[in-house]
Amino acid sequence: MTKKPLTWCVQCNVLALFSHLDQAPEYHAEGGQWKVVERDDQVAFMHAHRGHHLEELYPIEGSFISSQDYAEPTKVSYFEVTNGRQRFVVKKVRKSVLDTQRYELIPGKLRLIPSEPSIDCPALQEELTREFARHMSSAKIDRFVQDLAEAVSCLNPRKLKRAPFESHNPSTWYFILDQRILGRILRSSSPSFTEREVKLLQEFFRRNYGDPGFMATAKVAFQIEKVGDDEKTQVSPA
């Protein structure tokens, strides 16, 4: 997501985000020949809103949300911006690949609501069985995965460390299960493990630290709250 500010004409309530592509010429076929048409959206915008009150709105990091994948070219997404004094929600829409991005300012606050974290139990079970079949019984592995899933679901997603990468979809968050969390889970929920088995499992997670397949995930719902009001606008996935 871009860190460039959006330009907001307060008077007309129109938003625009300028990039170097705005100065790119357009090519039109005319009588069997290509004709180059020079264009500059930024100059056109500044001309249309000459003398109006313009403000720069900077995107707030970590606020971007959409129910559709990042790679999806036509989607609806939301993020928060600030002019340094107030926060606003921006709705970004692109209806077709031929269409340009459109931005709309929505008064209010974007609230992201992560679900309880979960792990991919079958994948973890399969991998642990493959690695540790010689060291511990499958019953112990199954028990550990169940205990881990249960313990992870009780963790507060807002306090967990987010993975240092983005998932393919903004509404899926990945969390790192660090050694402190794993150690606590191993000690409290699986007392039947020997010290060696605990070490093997800890080592497994240390080795697979950056692997999304062994991280906890949460699905993120979102809604727009009107500031100073309890009324909420439920935003349903498109």
> At closest approach, how far in Å is the CB of 91 from Zn ion?
19
Cβ burial, residue 167 (10 Å; 0-12/13-18/19+)? middle
> At closest approach, how far in Å is the CB of 29 from Zn ion?
34
- 12 or 113, CB closer to Zn ion? 12
> At closest approach, how far in Å is the CB of 57 from Zn ion?
14
* Contacts of 203 by beta carbon, 8 Å cutoff, 6+ apart: none
Backbone angles phi, psi at 78, to 5 degrees: -135, 145
> At closest approach, how far in Å is the CB of 8 from Zn ion?
9
- 49 or 92, CB closer to Zn ion? 49
Q: In the chain, which ranges are E strands? A: 6-9, 14-16, 26-30, 33-37, 54-59, 76-82, 87-93, 102-106, 109-114, 172-175, 216-225, 232-234
- 52 or 161, CB closer to Zn ion? 52
Comparing C-alpha atoms, which of 103, 160, 165, 152 is closest to residue 124?
A: 152
* Contacts of 151 by beta carbon, 8 Å cutoff, 6+ apart: 184, 185, 188, 189
> At closest approach, how far in Å is the CB of 12 from Zn ion?
3
User: Which amino acid appears at position 36 of this protein?
Assistant: V
- 49 or 140, CB closer to Zn ion? 49
- 9 or 198, CB closer to Zn ion? 9
H/E stretch holding 205: helix 195-207
- 3 or 50, CB closer to Zn ion? 50
> At closest approach, how far in Å is the CB of 70 from Zn ion?
31
Largest CA distance in the chain: 81
- Sites of contact with Zn ion (CB under 5 A): 9, 11-12, 49, 52
Whether residue 149 contacts residue 115, with contact meaning beta carbons closer than 8 Å, is answered with: no
> At closest approach, how far in Å is the CB of 165 from Zn ion?
39
- 16 or 235, CB closer to Zn ion? 16
* Contacts of 13 by beta carbon, 8 Å cutoff, 6+ apart: 105
